[in-house]
Amino acid sequence: MREALKSTEFRGKRERNWRDLEYLLNKVESGGIAQLSAAEILRMPRLYRSTLSSLSVARAISLDVNLVQYLESLTTRAYIFIYGPRKTLGLALRSFFLNDWPQSVRALASSLWIAFFILMAGWVLGFVLTVQNSDWFYTLVDGGLAGGRTPSASKEVLENTIFDGDGDDTSALGVFATFLFTHNAKVAMLTFALGFALAVPSILLLFVFGASVGAMTAVFAGHDLGLDFTGWLLIHGTTELFAIILAAGAGISLGRAIAFPGALSRRESLALTGQTAGSVMLGAVIMLFVAGLLEGYARQLIEGTALRYGVGGVMLGLWLGYFHFAGRDRGG
């Protein structure tokens, strides 16, 4: 009886504030912040602090469990409204594309250059080895991905793979685009994720990937189709390879943060670099999606070599311009 009386007295003095806070929260959760007047918005923090005080007292004097749970739920909802993130999905996307992503790419510039030179070194080595001995092609390139583009193929077969696509059924192009997006995203994800192992596996994977592309280039160059093959590749490759470089660079930055933390602890260094690297990786996935569309559609539908170079060059120029200029302060 005494505990019930104490609980009733406690409620009588404070319950109105709880109900007012609950009413305002219900309005916000059902219709958004626009449902509140300016006075109600200003009142919300006061009601939250009052309810939080009530919760503290209720716990201290051991009031009934249901009341404590009610106050805990109410204060949690109010905390999320008052102190939670204010960005809508639209604003978050706008901030990512206009600021976060390009700024993160510039912040990791040194790691991205490392990734670029590793990819190019693998490309050159794969090309040279295959030119000297075609057997290297089968070591460097997965047979399934080669798709008939092997050293034993005739010039006519290789030309057909460049200019006639993989078949005349254009309805299959969407499926092909999805496959390529999945495959290339897997390569990018691995080069990023393996960065935690001091970036050594990321570097090796990127180098081998570059070597496989170099070996493929050598096959076509051996039949005087090097320029045509490069155009066939670049229509999507300037986006795809750029994305893989971003992913690998992000992974390398993580490995560098662990191996060379500087004045910070390794945990602090990794946490500081991880947010930036994560933004770069998220953007790389978006670029791979664009590359998948270009590979599955534009590359198959545009057969002129000069036009393919033009599309690839325009895409490269757009990406470079975006990463150089976006997210900079005026005059910066």
pLDDT at 257: 92
Residue 113 included in any domain: yes
Residue 120 included in any domain: yes
Report d(CA 242, CA 248) in Å as an integer: 10
- In tens digits, the chain (332 residues) has pLDDT values of 445 546 677 777 788 899 999 999 998 888 777 788 888 888 888 998 999 888 888 888 777 788 888 888 999 888 887 776 656 677 888 889 999 999 999 999 999 999 999 999 999 999 999 999 999 999 998 765 566 678 888 888 888 877 765 444 444 444 555 565 676 778 889 999 999 898 999 999 999 999 999 999 999 999 999 999 898 888 888 999 999 999 999 999 999 999 998 888 888 888 889 989 999 999 999 998 888 888 777 767 787 889 999 999 999 999 999 999 998 875 44
**57 and 189 share a domain?**
no
Task: Judge if pTM exceeds 0.85.
Answer: no
Q: Which residues of 96-126 are buried (b: 16+ CB within 10 A; e: fewer)?
A: beeebbbbbbbbbeebbebbbebbeebbebb
**202 and 259 share a domain?**
yes
**103 and 39 share a domain?**
no
Domain that holds residue 203: 90-325
Report d(CA 3, CA 9) in Å as an integer: 10
Report d(CA 105, CA 177) in Å as an integer: 26
Residue 97 included in any domain: yes
**248 and 166 share a domain?**
yes
**69 and 95 share a domain?**
no
**103 and 218 share a domain?**
yes
**44 and 100 share a domain?**
no
pLDDT at 166: 46
**132 and 22 share a domain?**
no
Specify the number of domains making up the chain: 2
Residue 103 included in any domain: yes
**94 and 74 share a domain?**
no
CB atoms within 10 A of CB 221: 17
**58 and 97 share a domain?**
no
CB atoms within 10 A of CB 226: 15
Residue 156 included in any domain: yes
Closest CA to 12 of 79, 73, 63, 76: 63
